[in-house]
């Protein structure tokens, strides 16, 4: 059973003003932190989808032993990065775990819970939920790759989630971080910098 982790870091970070992948959290970049969190949870096949400023990001990072995927169509939105990842994973991949770079406040324990939920019954989709709201990361079974590749860009992966709403497994968590999209300096100051 192989679950591939996919970190989405292709956006322009226009509201942040600098690449979110290189922001600092507990002495590491967001990207280093997420990679470590995923590895500690037992996920070792990790791909990072880059787009805007990809050369800058790669040259400023240490060797993370991850696969970099360059999404030339990153301006089409997050779904284009998911599609780039699907095109790159091996055919024997059973599922992918989608981790946006701007949601770094998730724990190894949460990742393990999501993996365990998938391994138990292998549902099409596993999503964490906090305060009755769905967040990230999300696991998509390979059975949905075809649909993800054909989903409308203006709706994104949500179209596939909605199409399978009766099959989604929701994992309750006390981690608000699944909802926190750290995409501007104010949120970074509030949730990251003041707690470092």
For the stretch 52-63, pLDDT in tens is 999 999 999 888
User: What does the mean pLDDT of the chain come to?
Assistant: 94
- In sequence order, the 6+-apart residues with CB closer than 8 A to the CB of 196 are 24, 25, 26, 27
Architecture of the domain defined by 3-195: Alpha-Beta Complex (3.90)
For the stretch 112-148, pLDDT in tens is 999 999 999 999 999 999 999 999 999 999 999 999 9
Q: Which residue would you say has higher pLDDT here, 14 or 165? A: 165
CA distance 126 to 113: 10
pTM of the predicted model as reported, rounded to 2 decimal places = 0.95
For the stretch 167-190, pLDDT in tens is 999 999 999 999 999 989 999 899
CA distance 176 to 156: 23
């Amino acid at each position: 059973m192989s679950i591939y982790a996919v970190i989405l870091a292709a956006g322009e970070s226009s509201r942040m003003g600098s690449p979110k992948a290189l922001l600092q959290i507990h002495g590491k970049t967001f990207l280093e932190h997420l990679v470590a969190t995923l590895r500690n949870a037992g996920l070792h096949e990790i791909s990072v989808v880059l787009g805007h400023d990809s050369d800058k990001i790669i040259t400023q990072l240490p060797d993370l032993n991850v696969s970099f995927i360059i999404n030339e169509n990153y301006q089409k939105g997050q779904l284009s990065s998911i599609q780039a990842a699907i095109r790159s994973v091996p055919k024997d991949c059973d599922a992918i775990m989608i981790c946006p770079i701007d949601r770094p406040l998730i724990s190894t324990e949460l990742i393990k819970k999501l993996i365990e939920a998938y391994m138990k019954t292998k549902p099409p989709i596993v999503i964490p939920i906090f305060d009755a709201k769905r967040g990230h990361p999300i696991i998509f079974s390979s059975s949905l790759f075809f649909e993800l590749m054909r989903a409308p860009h203006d709706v994104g992966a949500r179209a596939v989630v909605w199409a399978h709403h009766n099959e989604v497994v929701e994992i309750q968590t006390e981690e608000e971080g699944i909802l926190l999209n750290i995409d501007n300096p104010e949120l970074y100051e509030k949730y990251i910098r003041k707690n470092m």
